[in-house]
Amino acid sequence: MDPVFIDIIALVLLFLGMLGTFLPILPGLLLSICGLLIFKFGTENEMPMMYVWIFVLLTIISTVLNYVIPAKTNKKYGGTRYGSIGSFIGTLLGLFLIPIPLGFLIGMLLGVFLGELIHDFSDTKKAFNSMKGALIGFVYGTGFNMMVGLAMFLVVGYYIFF
């Protein structure tokens, strides 16, 4: 297969992977790691195998952190299990029922808020704090994913163009 075509496929997957770090409809770093692997094993390049192992490790760490960070920040800001369940349901509903680019995020935040209100209807301050914790967790997790995806994109881009 033509190496230029493989380079283009790898770059497209890496770009889509970066988009997927904040759009839950795309599998984020999974697309990025696929682009990296296609580039590494589909072309003759000088990229060290160590980069592949580092990025695989960072992808695994990121996957674990995507579950740990939101739970920890939600708990730190006073959230309960009801808020976590609301977050999950809200994300799914927001993804499909709020037809704007960040509908999933709006759905997640509303889900956390409503979940906390179901737990304790009289404590809206706690519900707002839990919502703030969920947003901070989302930003941390997304930021880490974006940095890993961007690093993969830049490494592959370096070996393609330089």
Query: Which pLDDT value is given to residue 96?
Result: 87
What backbone phi and psi angles, to 5 degrees, belong to 121?
-65, -25
- Rounded mean pLDDT of the chain? 91
- Average pLDDT rounded to a whole number, residues 42-66: 94
- Name the region of 28 (left: φ>0; alpha: ψ -120 to 50; beta: rest): left
**Eight-state DSSP code of residue 43:** S
Q: How confident is the model at residue 57 (pLDDT cuts 50, 70, 90)?
A: very high
pLDDT tens-digit series, residues 71-126: 778 778 989 999 988 888 988 898 888 878 788 889 989 999 999 999 999 999 99
